[in-house]
Amino acid sequence: MVSKAITVICDDREPKSMDMIADTVEGITFERKRLKTGDYIYENICVERKEINDFCGSIMDGRLESQVKKMKEDFPHNFIIVVGRIKDRTSDIHENCILGKMTSLIVKHDMTLLFVDDEFQFCFVLKSLIKKTLDKNSKVMKGGIKNE
């Protein structure tokens, strides 16, 4: 059985190469539009994609805080996916600063933060996040909420 492809809204400032990579991951396509929040949107799910050096730069210049705040205001399901490994960064930011910010994002801001090695993994994880988040939400809605 072939499942229907998920069409994700992709910010038009994201690399064009993402479209070709998405073509190699069955079940996901991108529609490009200018987004005010996040880089990838599907229904009530928002994903911010960061290359490792952009992640480091956005920590240092404070962009990450404002991006997270906007995501939380606009969407109930938010994810930051970092492409690359901390040890491969070219930024001068200290590793402890990165780890501290990661901890803050998870604990203080209740953000889901994932690291992937490359853009192919990003597309695969993006598709999986969307499907699993939708599955989880549909089960909650079908089952209702129990009063305790």
Residue 74, domain CATH? 3.40.50.10130
For residue 54, being part of any structural domain is answered with yes
Look up residue 147 and give its amino acid.
Answer: N
For residue 1, being part of any structural domain is answered with no
Dmax over CA atoms of the chain, in Å, equals 52
**Is the separation of the CB atoms in 123 and 25 below 8 Å?**
yes
Look up residue 129 and give its amino acid.
Answer: L
The token pair at 16 is 């064009």
**Is the separation of the CB atoms in 125 and 114 below 8 Å?**
yes
Q: Where residue 2 falls among pLDDT bands split at 50, 70, 90?
A: very low
Beta pairing, strands 28-33 & 6-11: parallel
For residue 146, being part of any structural domain is answered with no
The token pair at 83 is 């492409």
**Is the separation of the CB atoms in 48 and 77 below 8 Å?**
no
Decide: helix, strand or coil at residue 70. helix
| Average pLDDT of the segment spanning 77-102 | 96
β-strand partners of 41: 9, 46
Q: Which residue has the higher pLDDT, 48 or 29?
A: 48
The pLDDT > 90 percentage for the chain reads 74
For residue 92, being part of any structural domain is answered with yes
**Rounded-to-integer distance, Cα 58 and Cα 86, Å:** 14
Distance from chain centroid for Cα 126 = 7
* pLDDT per position as a tens digit, 74-88: 999 999 999 999 999
β-strand partners of 115: 82
Split into its structural domains, the chain has a count of 1
Range of the domain at 41: 6-140
For residue 125, being part of any structural domain is answered with yes
Place of tokens 């960061």: 50
For residue 129, being part of any structural domain is answered with yes
| Average pLDDT of the segment spanning 12-31 | 88
For residue 78, being part of any structural domain is answered with yes
Q: Is the pLDDT of residue 107 over 50?
A: yes
For residue 148, being part of any structural domain is answered with no
Q: Where residue 72 falls among pLDDT bands split at 50, 70, 90?
A: very high
